[in-house]
Structure 1
Amino acid sequence: MTYKSPDFLIHAGRFTVQWLDHATAGFRRALGLTLLPALPFLPRWQLQQLTRFLSHAEPVMRRILYLMAAELGALPVRERTSPSVPTGAPSPARPAKTPRPLFPQPRFRLTEPEDRPEATRPPPPKRFRTGPRIRRFDVETPVDLSEYPAQPDDLLPSARQVRRLLALEDVFENMSRYVTALRRLIGKAQPILRRALPPAFRRRPLTPQQQQTACDFHAEAARLAFNTS
Structure 2
Amino acid sequence: MTVSSQRRRASPKGDRQRKRIMEAGQAVIGERGFANATMESIAQRVGISRSGVLHYFPSKDVLVEAILSERRLPDDDRFQHSLERAASRTVLDAAAILERNATDRQWVAFYSGTLSEALRDGHPSREFFTLRYALFRSMLAQSIRNGIDDGSLRGDASAPDVAALVIAVLDGLQQQWLYDPDLDMARIYESFLRMLRGGTAAESPVRSADVTSS
Bigger share in helix: 2
Compute the TM-score of the two structures, normalised by the length of structure 2: 0.29
Higher alpha-carbon Rg:
1
